[in-house]
């Protein structure tokens, strides 16, 4: 029989063991397949499923779609909003259409918000294109468009993902462009501002090499992915914002009170907390259970924060660039695989129409 101290040591050892090695580790389930590159996913309180397709390597025929139960896609909220085409850019008002949608997130108050950085090909921002679009999920109609002005969505910026305060009044976005920042939006007035603009925590880490299974991921001209602050999550009480650069190895946080309008940048910088060492990361998600999930594209994994370290939840070779999370009403976690390493950016000759998937797992 083990002594009390030995028993406690064994319990601690088992608790510290990587979750992915446990017999009851979560299993990855394919939910849907797409003929185009999907990045964002949104699951609503009643279980509706939405995805978005950015215009990165192709002029995607649909930007935002509802995934119906039979797997087919319905342009959302309608065909008109999804009718932008790059070749007709001079004929269409960028503020009235989805130009290059990067993410879609429910706010918990009956709305789906669409983040449009307005930069097809992840390149030059089109004038008046960066915006947030609010869609009422009951009426399936656009009820508000918030333009992000040029002094906030700077040329070279790329609005990436958004999280909301619990009261639904404030949005927090990552700008993963050439000068990383957190963009804060008053969703009532539409006013927006940049925070931690150029701060080390929002910039890419030049010591990090993006690699897949240890092999550096580079374009033909030897460039690697160069994205600053990308993943973002908010605590369930709305008091703490978590964020990380894609090309980074550190998870940071800041009290949301320090992101309010009027707080000085020096005060914000002093409030930044180093949470944990991590790895190249795209998406973050704070679950309803209070678990922070983290994607790990380099090793096809989903990880989670455990104190001041991360542990592996699951690893699956089908997760070719796990990108963005969402959570279903029953606690199921959904994640897109955006196949960034398989695009024509990194594989000359690859089809511009990149096939992708949506997966789920139950913690």
Q: Is residue 277 part of a domain?
A: yes
- Angle among Cα 113, 314, 299 to the nearest 5 degrees reads 90
Q: What is the pLDDT of residue 23?
A: 58
CATH of the domain at 92: 2.120.10.30
Q: What is the pLDDT of residue 4?
A: 39
Q: How many domains does the chain have?
A: 1
Q: What is the DSSP letter of 126?
A: P
Distance CA 168, CA 162 (A): 12
- Assess if residue 216 is contained within a domain: yes
Residue 23 within any structural domain of the chain: no
Task: Output Rg (C-alpha) for the chain, integer angstroms.
Answer: 20
* pLDDT on residue 14: 37
Question: How many helices and strands in the chain, by DSSP H and E?
Answer: 2, 26
Per the structure, the complete domain to which residue 214 belongs is given by 29-361
**Distance (Å, rounded) from C-alpha 359 to C-alpha 321?**
12
Is residue 161 a contact partner of residue 283, using CB atoms and an 8 Å limit? yes
In a domain, 4, yes or no: no
The count of other CB atoms within 10 Å of the CB of residue 43 is 23
Q: Please report, for residues 55, 65, 253, 316, the alpha-carbon distance to residue 352 in angstroms, rounded to integers and kept in the order given.
A: 10, 19, 36, 25
Per-residue pLDDT tens listing for the chain (363 residues): 334 343 333 333 333 344 545 557 799 999 999 999 999 999 999 999 999 999 999 999 999 999 999 999 999 999 999 999 999 999 999 999 999 999 999 999 999 999 999 999 888 999 999 999 999 999 999 999 999 999 999 999 999 999 999 999 999 999 999 899 999 999 999 999 999 999 999 999 999 999 998 899 998 888 887 789 999 999 999 999 999 999 999 999 999 999 999 999 999 999 999 999 999 999 999 999 999 999 999 999 999 999 999 999 999 999 999 999 999 999 999 999 999 999 999 998 899 999 999 999 999
Is residue 16, in this structure, part of any structural domain at all? no
Residue 22: per-residue pLDDT: 53
Alpha-carbon span 251 to 277, nearest angstrom: 6
Query: Is 49 in contact with 31 (CB distance < 8 Å)?
Result: yes
Q: Which residue has the tokens 């990855």?
A: 28
Say if 116 falls within a structural domain.
yes
206 alpha-carbon distance from chain centroid: 21
Tell me whether residue 145 is in a domain. Answer: yes
> What does the alpha-carbon distance between residue 163 and residue 165 come to, in Å, rounded to a whole number?
7
Residue 74: inside a domain, yes or no? yes
């Amino acid at each position: 029989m083990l002594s009390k101290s030995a028993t406690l040591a064994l319990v601690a050892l088992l608790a510290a063991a990587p979750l992915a090695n446990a017999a009851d580790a979560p299993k990855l389930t394919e939910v849907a397949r797409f003929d185009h590159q999907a990045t964002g996913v949104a699951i609503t309180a009643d279980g509706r499923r939405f995805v978005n397709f950015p215009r990165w390597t192709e002029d995607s025929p649909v930007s935002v779609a509802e995934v119906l139960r039979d797997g087919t896609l319905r342009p959302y909220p309608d065909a008109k909003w999804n009718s932008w085409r790059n070749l007709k850019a001079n004929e269409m008002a960028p503020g009235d259409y989805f130009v290059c949608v990067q993410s879609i997130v429910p706010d918990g108050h009956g709305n789906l918000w669409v983040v449009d950085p307005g930069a097809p090909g992840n390149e030059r921002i089109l004038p008046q294109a960066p915006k947030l679009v609010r869609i009422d999920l009951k009426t399936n109609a656009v009820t508000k468009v918030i333009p992000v002005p040029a002094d906030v969505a700077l040329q070279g910026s790329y609005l990436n993902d958004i999280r909301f305060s619990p009261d639904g009044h404030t949005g927090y976005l990552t700008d993963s462009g050439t000068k990383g920042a957190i963009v804060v939006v008053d969703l009532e007035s539409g006013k927006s501002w940049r925070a931690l603009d150029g701060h080390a925590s929002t910039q890419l880490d030049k010591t990090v090499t993006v690699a897949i299974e240890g092999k550096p991921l580079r374009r033909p001209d030897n460039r690697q992915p160069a994205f600053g602050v990308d993943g973002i999550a908010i605590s369930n009480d709305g008091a703490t914002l978590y964020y990380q650069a894609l090309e980074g190895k550190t998870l940071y946080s800041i009290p949301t009170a320090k992101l309010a309008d009027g707080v000085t940048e020096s005060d914000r910088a002093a409030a930044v907390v180093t949470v944990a060492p991590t790895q190249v990361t795209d998406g973050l998600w704070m679950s309803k259970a209070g678990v922070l999930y983290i994607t790990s594209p380099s090793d096809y994994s989903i990880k989670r924060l455990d104190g001041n370290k991360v542990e592996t939840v699951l690893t699956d070779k089908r997760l070719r660039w796990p990108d963005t999370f969402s959570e279903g009403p029953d606690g199921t976690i959904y994640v897109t695989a955006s196949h960034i390493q398989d695009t024509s950016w990194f594989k000359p000759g690859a089809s511009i129409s990149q096939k992708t998937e949506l997966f789920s797992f139950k913690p």
